[in-house]
Every structure is written in C-alpha cells, then in structure tokens.
A and B are shown apart, each in its own frame.
Chain A
Amino acid sequence: MEKLQYQGHLHTLQKELMGDYYAELTASANGSGLPAAYLLIGGNPVEILRAFDILPVFPEVNALQLAVRKQSLPFIQAAEFMGYSSDNCAYVKADIGMYFGGRTTPFATIPEPSLLLCNYVGCNVYLDWFEHLADYSRRPIFQLDIPFIRTASGKPSKDDIAYVTTQLHRLIEQCEEITGRKLDQDRLREAVRLSSETGALWSKIKHLTKAHPAPYDAYFDSVTMMAPLYCLRGTQAGLDFFETAYAELQEKANAGIGALSEERFRYVIEGPPPWPHLRTFRDMFSRWSAIAVASTYSTVGGLWEFGFTHDPDSPIESIARHLLEWNLTNRNFLQRYDQIGRYIEEWDAHALVIHSVKSCRLFSAGQGDMREYFTKRGIPTLLVESDLEDPRYFSEAQMRNRIDAFFESLEHRSTQGQSVTV
C-alpha cells in the first residue's frame, strides 16, 4: 500500500512551536530559564501560572511524547521494578521512570518542579501521581480540589464555584511566594484574554469538520493541535498558532478539500489514542476512507465547542468554570454519552468507534455500557482495546481485523440498512 501522507503546514508549524517550548523546559532544567510548575491537562489554571511567568510542565504530554517516539517502555519497566503494577496507568509509570532516569528525554530535559500543582479534575490517578512526585522530589505541592459534576443538572453548584474560587486565590498566594512577586492583575487578564480567543478559534476549528468532506481529521489531526492548545494556552504564540490553523483549515473547508482524497465514512471516536502505534492505527481507518469528524479525547483539557470561553473581565471565576464544568475529565460518564450523541447528530457521523485503553479507567471503565447504549439507538459501534502509553497492549493484526470487519459491515449496511455491532 502506498504510504499515506498527513503532513501539512500546520504540522510543521506545530513542530517548531513545540520545539521552542521544549527548549524552554531544557533552559529551566539548566537553571537559566523560568521556574517550572508541573500540572495536569484536564481543565487547568495555566493562565495563573503564565501571569507569574511560571513555566507549565505537563507530565502527561511528556509521557505521550515518549510513547510516540517509542521510548516509553524502558521507563515503564523501571517503574514496575519499583513496585508499580502492570495494571496502573502507564502515563504515571513512564513519567516516574523518566523522573528517576535523570529527566532526560530525546526532546528536552525536564526541569525539577518549583511547584507541583495537582489539579484534581475528575481523574483520581492524578492524586496518586502528584503525591508520589511530591514524595520523590520533596517539592511543594498544591492540591486543587475540584468537585466533580455529580448532579442531574450537569452543572457545578454555587458552593462548588465559591470553593474553587477560594482555592485559586490560595494558589495565587503560593505563586506569589515562589516568585516573590505580587500578582499583576493586568497580566492575568491578558493571559485569560489570550485563552479566551484561543478557545474561540479552537471551537470554530472544531465546527469545520461538519463540512463534507471534513477538512481535517478530528482525532488524528486534532492531537497535533492539542499540544499547543495545552502547552501554549494563555500566550501570544499559542494564539498566533490557532489563527494560522483556523485560516488554513477554513480555506480547505471552503474549497471543499477533504483531509482524505475520498471520504466514505464519517465516525466519532471516543477514548485516547494508542500513542505508541498512532501512525499504524491511523492507517487502519484511512485505508477505508474513514474520517473522524469529532473526538471526545480532544476535549480532555477543555470543551470549547459547546459555547464556553474564558472571560477576561472575571478571570478567576471563568478559570473556575473551566476547571469545574468545561472539560471532559470533570464531567460524568453520562454527560459523555450526551456529548457523543451531539457529535453524531450535529457532525453527521455514521458510526462510533470506542478505543478502550487499559491505562485510563477515567475514560474506559464502563465503555461496554456506552457501546450498548449507542447500539440500542441504532448507531453502529465498534469497541477495540489497547493502551495509550504501553506499547505491549497493541495487537496489530487483531486490531486491523476488527476494524476491517466493522467497515465491511458498514459498507454492507449502507446497501442493506441494518445495524452493526462489532
């Protein structure tokens, strides 16, 4: 088969930007850069760090970079040697293995943290992960306790918002201690404004895949854009990237240019990607001319496409809302069913693919129920299993067979009009 090409201007620009970001990490590690704070992707207050010139470091992004470069396994094994279980989230294991391996990676030297900012937004593993890092590094930790969305309204309560706002003020105090500077309100407002505009552009980009054909793949290309969305949100460079991205993708949409030369199947995909085998996995869909028009994974750190934006006029409260309500990780599992349902309908998809990863129970625990829910509603649904970080759980032949069987039956279905579950 001819090797498919997915590279475009955006990918090159992203590589440059991420290269710069990682150079900043290395500079920080060498003592010539900014102080670093570790924090997590799922809804976070990175704008506060930016206002203090504290460099955000995302252990999840580092872990996935290791996996993409096929470097994660030795670190995972090193952590397992320390007593971590084969059943624990492998992001944590890769990161801890790397931490004890001198924090050197092929893309950067990861600085020691001046602050461990554990933004507990849904994922309980976050708490373990940062508790362990605090134990190993003996650096200060701040636990940001974000109440989960747990009532039928699907909204945080007034108490929740007040509770989180109070904590954000305490976080600011801690940043003041670390940097020896008072918070500059204008800088915070500016960072929040940049986030707000970035989020608005990202939302517009997301809606572009409603076009037929979709101008980019909302899973495999979204992950390219997610790195700057998280690592550079709240900066001008981040905003510039999204301006370019939107212009480029909108032009494609207007011109009716699709991401694939032919678009036969439009699907929604749920779950994180198999980072160690990303390219192989992508090809399994491309060869069927199947494109992801929406993905839940691209909302882990923020759900912008349904109307949320940060508000520079009330920066702290809007950060609190982002943390509480407007990201996938802090929303309950049934809200995810609704989210997927909207994607299927509004983005005009024919099928749902669930990539169930062993590492991440936040995502995966109960996805069999999700499959049942959508199948009953007549949505052809495929559930495949592997992992997001550990290369050992990807069985290529089996995965390919299942995906082939699924699209074959979809093909058949389009002529026969019957339902499919694989």
Chain B
Amino acid sequence: MITTTASRNLEEVIEECRTIFDIPGIEPAVAWKHAERGRKLIGCFPVYTPVEIFHAAGALPVGLAGGGNRLEIVHSDSRFQSFVCSIIKSTLEQGMTGMLDEIDGMVFHSICDSARNLASVYTRNFPNTPVEYLHYPQNFALPEAAMHLRSEYERLATFAASITGTTVTPGRLKESLSLYNRIRRLIRLLYGLRAERPHAIRTSELYSLVRVGNLTPPERHAEILVEALAAIERREGKSRDRLRILIVGSFCEQPPIDLISAVEDAGCYVVDDDFLIGRRWLIGDVDTGVSDPLLALADGYRNQSVASPVKHDLRVSQSQMLIDRARRLNADAVIVLCAKFCEPALFAYPLYRRALQAAGIPNLFLEFEEKMWMFDRVKNEIETFVESMLFA
C-alpha cells in the first residue's frame, strides 16, 4: 500500500507505483477486492473503456495491460497463432493460469480483429466470467453515432449492475465522471509539464504514474498524481541539449518500461507518446451538468477524443494531426514504435511515413514485443538514429 507523506520525493512515489504495476498479474486489485465483502472487479482490455460506468456501479475497473516480460506463454500459443500480437496471448495466458480468477466481468472492444476474436475465445474458455463486447462507431461524421454508442454504454451499465448489484444512476455516473475528469486533467498536466520541461520528469516515470491507475482505485490514483506533481515542482534539474522525440504506435500492447528508458538513455527527451492512451482518451472534461451523462460520455468519444489508429475519424487527416502535433511540440523526430503483429499500428505507419517525409520530419520505425527483455538491437537502432540526426 502506498502511504502518503507530503514530503516524499518523486523517486519514492515512482518506486511505489512500480511495485504495484510491475508484476505479471493483478494482485493489488485483488487485494482491494478482498478488503471488503461484495467488492467486484471488471477487467478492461485496451485501448479505451468508459471506466466511469463500472466505477459508478461500484466496481473497480482493472486496466489489463498484458503480461509484461515475466509471464511465460505456455498454454495460449496453441490457441492463437504465431502471427498474432503478444497481448492477445498473454491475456489469455493470464486467464488460463488463474491470474484473472478474481475478475468478475471482462470487456473487450472493436479495436482490431484479434481482440475481437479473443472476446469470443475468452467467453468460451471462461464460462463463469461474463464478457461484454463494445462496438465503437467508425463513422464519426454521422450525428447518430453518439446515440448508438450511448445504447452500447447503456448495455455496459446493465452489465456492470448485473455484476455489482448497484444500478448506474445519472447521479452516481456524474460523480464518477467528475472523478475521472479530474484524473485526466492531472495526467494532462503531467504531460504538459513533461513537454515543457522534459528534464523535470523522465518518460519512464510519467509512464509509471499513469500505469499505476490500472490496478489502483481512482480515488487513490488521483492522490498519487497530485503528490507526484508537487514532488516534480521540488525537483532540481537543468535542461540539456537533447533531441525532442515524439513516440507513437504503442497504444495497446505496452513496451517494457526498460525499453522506454532506453530511448531516453540514447540521449532523447520524449515530448509526447501514446502509451496507455486509454487513460487520456478524452481530451476535455465530460460535461457533468447535463441530464443525460451517458450521452455526454458517448459524445466525448465522438467529438473530444485523441487520434488513434483504432479510430477512423475521417473528418480530419490522422497523419496531418501527427504532423501538427510534432510541430506544436517542437519535436525533432518521430519514432513509430509498434507492437509486433499489431495490425492497426502497422497500418498507420505507411501513411505516417509518407506525411512525415513530406513534412521533412525524420522518423524511425521500430517493433517491440511486451515479452522482450533484451534491447540491444533496438538500442543500437535508436542510438544510430540519434547520432545520424546529431551529426547530420
């Protein structure tokens, strides 16, 4: 458990976060569940889940993020082929080895064909765990899309209530929305701070602060974020002359945290990324002053969410948005860091590359797997890339 003392420094806060999330399972969430009778956990596969709905039903939304590089895949690779990304297999492996036994419900979303089929395979293999599958709209120009998504959210609310026994009323939902609005604001502050003063917080640290929310109740997560912000303000450090890098492509399966550190150690500041993007999917507050908060949440997806390869909002060009982002952040280069076999990320790359080349922004394409634990080759590639830019 984290104990809050006003004077903890950032390293201490991060250390606590890492103990919580840097494990192959979900034990801290299970501990929360067992602390009181009747508590329930709902597992949320990436990328984005409207977690407020589960929270409003009294459950703890557990952010699933694969098995990292310490979970050995033994059973699930006979179910999913070699050409399927790792998180599909590690999630099933977690299930097959009992790590998700305490999960009372699971939700998957229409992000890609592999995750979609996993929802079915999970349903069949774990008949005692209720599974929901959420369809996200893919025609953003269509005004009816938000209403349809609202009906999806309503089904999700019924699902959550059937697990916890607590109905998601508009009142409860508004409270949850306020809490998560606050968390997203805090994360945005941290991201803004890093872009402005990247020497003040390392990306691996920022990552830890966000990732801890996967297995921590949101009330506590908000406290950690507040504490971290205060600690960063006290931190001393000087800006160095380093390349400013934007990393995109790791929105679902997560790279090992040491790989993230490796980018920084190669002499870069990471000024923006899309790690764990689901935690800051909505870019503005969801309006809690409305009579239909479920619709407000759905409308947030349609009109106020980040660009992502699992979302095909053609009202704006996704690659142009990447260019704009790179320019706004004064990025020297873009690293496209894709999970191996991640179809949406791999498909995003050719359009990105074309646009980046046209805009004269150097870019590097790299692949990773969550289960990697040797980074020599990737490190080399990053170092060579950095050198080529420094001495160009």
> Which residue, of A82, A92, A334, A366, has the highest number of chain B Cβ atoms within 10 A?
A366
User: What is the bound-complex CA distance between A213 and B197, given in angstroms?
Assistant: 75
**In this assembly, does A20 line the interface, its C-beta being within 8 Å of a C-beta of chain B?**
no
* Distance between A81 CB and nearest chain B CB, rounded to angstroms: 10
Contacts of B137 in A (CB 8 A): 145
**In this assembly, does A147 line the interface, its C-beta being within 8 Å of a C-beta of chain B?**
yes
**In this assembly, does B7 line the interface, its C-beta being within 8 Å of a C-beta of chain A?**
no
User: What is the bound-complex CA distance between A160 and B147, given in angstroms?
Assistant: 11
**In this assembly, does B124 line the interface, its C-beta being within 8 Å of a C-beta of chain A?**
yes
Per-position binary interface string of chain B over residues 337-373, scored 1 when its CB falls under 8 Å from any chain A CB and 0 otherwise: 0001101101111110110000000000100000000
B residues 91-146 touching A (CB-CB < 8 Å): 110-114, 116-121, 123-125, 132-135, 137-139, 141-142, 144-145
**In this assembly, does A143 line the interface, its C-beta being within 8 Å of a C-beta of chain B?**
yes
Contacts of A362 in B (CB 8 A): 113, 116-117
User: Is B343 within 8 A of A135, CB to CB?
Assistant: no
User: Is A365 within 8 A of B88, CB to CB?
Assistant: yes
Which residue of B is nearest A363, CB measured?
B113
A residues 123-150 touching B (CB-CB < 8 Å): 123-125, 127-128, 131-132, 134-135, 141, 143-145, 147-148, 150
User: What is the bound-complex CA distance between A163 and B118, given in angstroms?
Assistant: 26
Contacts of B138 in A (CB 8 A): 120, 127, 143, 145
Contacts of B79 in A (CB 8 A): 366, 368-369, 372
User: Is A148 within 8 A of B116, CB to CB?
Assistant: yes
Assuming the contacts A124-B112, A147-B135, asked whether A365 and B347 have C-beta atoms less than 8 A apart, the reply is no
B residues contacting the other copy or chain, number (CB 8 A)? 57
Assuming the contacts A135-B317, A372-B78, asked whether A124 and B139 have C-beta atoms less than 8 A apart, the reply is no
**In this assembly, does A385 line the interface, its C-beta being within 8 Å of a C-beta of chain B?**
yes
Contacts of B5 in A (CB 8 A): none
**In this assembly, does B374 line the interface, its C-beta being within 8 Å of a C-beta of chain A?**
no
Q: Which of A79, A85, A145, A368 contacts B80 (CB 8 A)?
A: A368
A residues 145-179 touching B (CB-CB < 8 Å): 145, 147-148, 150-151, 157, 159-160, 163, 166-167, 170
A residues 22-55 touching B (CB-CB < 8 Å): none
**In this assembly, does A65 line the interface, its C-beta being within 8 Å of a C-beta of chain B?**
no
Contacts of B314 in A (CB 8 A): 131, 134, 141, 143
User: Is B78 within 8 A of A87, CB to CB?
Assistant: no
**In this assembly, does A361 line the interface, its C-beta being within 8 Å of a C-beta of chain B?**
yes
Contacts of A334 in B (CB 8 A): 120, 123-124
Assuming the contacts A145-B142, A365-B80, asked whether A159 and B346 have C-beta atoms less than 8 A apart, the reply is no
User: Is A148 within 8 A of B110, CB to CB?
Assistant: yes
Contacts of A219 in B (CB 8 A): none
Q: Using C-beta atoms within 8 Å of the partner chain, give the interface range for chain A.
A: 35 or more
Per-position binary interface string of chain A over residues 351-395, scored 1 when its CB falls under 8 Å from any chain B CB and 0 otherwise: 000001010111011111100110000000000010000000000
User: What is the bound-complex CA distance between A92 and B349, given in angstroms?
Assistant: 14
**In this assembly, does B81 line the interface, its C-beta being within 8 Å of a C-beta of chain A?**
yes
**In this assembly, does A88 line the interface, its C-beta being within 8 Å of a C-beta of chain B?**
yes
Contacts of A367 in B (CB 8 A): 81
**In this assembly, does A84 line the interface, its C-beta being within 8 Å of a C-beta of chain B?**
yes
**In this assembly, does A106 line the interface, its C-beta being within 8 Å of a C-beta of chain B?**
no
**In this assembly, does A332 line the interface, its C-beta being within 8 Å of a C-beta of chain B?**
yes
User: What is the bound-complex CA distance between A119 and B347, given in angstroms?
Assistant: 18
User: Is B346 within 8 A of A85, CB to CB?
Assistant: yes
Contacts of B145 in A (CB 8 A): 145
User: Is B133 within 8 A of A365, CB to CB?
Assistant: no
* Distance between A80 CB and nearest chain B CB, rounded to angstroms: 9
User: What is the bound-complex CA distance between A170 and B145, given in angstroms?
Assistant: 13
* Distance between B327 CB and nearest chain A CB, rounded to angstroms: 20
User: Is A128 within 8 A of B116, CB to CB?
Assistant: no
**In this assembly, does B161 line the interface, its C-beta being within 8 Å of a C-beta of chain A?**
no
Assuming the contacts A83-B353, A87-B83, A125-B343, asked whether A332 and B113 have C-beta atoms less than 8 A apart, the reply is no
Contacts of B113 in A (CB 8 A): 122-125, 360-362, 365
User: Is B343 within 8 A of A159, CB to CB?
Assistant: no
Q: Which of B78, B124, B148 contacts A163 (CB 8 A)?
A: B148
User: Is A361 within 8 A of B343, CB to CB?
Assistant: yes
User: Is B142 within 8 A of A170, CB to CB?
Assistant: yes
User: What is the bound-complex CA distance between A82 and B142, given in angstroms?
Assistant: 32
**In this assembly, does B306 line the interface, its C-beta being within 8 Å of a C-beta of chain A?**
no
* A binding-site residues for B, Cβ under 8 Å: 79, 82-85, 87-89, 92, 120, 122-125, 127-128, 131-132, 134-135, 141, 143-145, 147-148, 150-151, 157, 159-160, 163, 166-167, 170, 332-334, 337, 356, 358, 360-362, 364-369, 372-373, 385
12 cross-chain CB contacts under 8 A: A82-B353, A124-B113, A125-B347, A132-B347, A150-B135, A159-B148, A361-B83, A364-B81, A365-B80, A365-B113, A368-B78, A368-B81
